[in-house]
Amino acid sequence: MQGGAATGVTFGSVADIGEDLYDKTMDLNLKSVYFTVHKALPYMNDGASVILIGSNAAHRAYPTFTLYGAAKAAVIYFAKGFSNDLLDRKIRVNVISPGTTDTPVFEKFVPAEQLEAVKKHFADSMPVGRIGQPADIGKTAVFLASDDSSFMLGVELLVDGGMTYLSK
């Protein structure tokens, strides 16, 4: 099974994914991040905050998510490296790594009649007892963009309901 390009997730094992799909996945999830920041730098004020999106898949070896997880692990490293590269401009780069979040992506992979059961299955496996909401990610982004996080740079915030470190 392979995920769609719109989701950025390619499902499959190293035995299934060839060079073309590898390149597309890495371009979408890694190259795009690098060059978005690179191209935006001339327009950014000194002291700006950049927020990258990682994934808890960078920390957990989910079956068939190897390539996606590897790309997101590199994004997490980018936050550290970019922060170091941009110290002279006081530009902070941090990363939010969500876990399962209730977004329309579910509808791309799950038949409508199974949607609520699949969401319940995910919620039941979450230490916090629910899947994430877009507002959970948004509130974290607001914090990272604010002066309240001015002492944070190169940091990853896992916003995954405890899945990475406390999973059932």
Could you list the active site residues? 68
Q: Please give the span between the terminal C-alpha atoms of the chain, in angstroms, as a whole number.
A: 26
pLDDT, residue 6, reads 46
User: Residue 110 has what pLDDT?
Assistant: 84
More confident residue, 39 or 103: 39
Q: How far apart are CA 130 and CA 12, in angstroms?
A: 27
pLDDT digits (tens, 9 = 90+) for 69-124: 999 999 999 999 999 999 999 999 999 999 999 998 878 878 889 999 999 998 99
Domain 19-161 sits in CATH 3.40.50.720:
yes
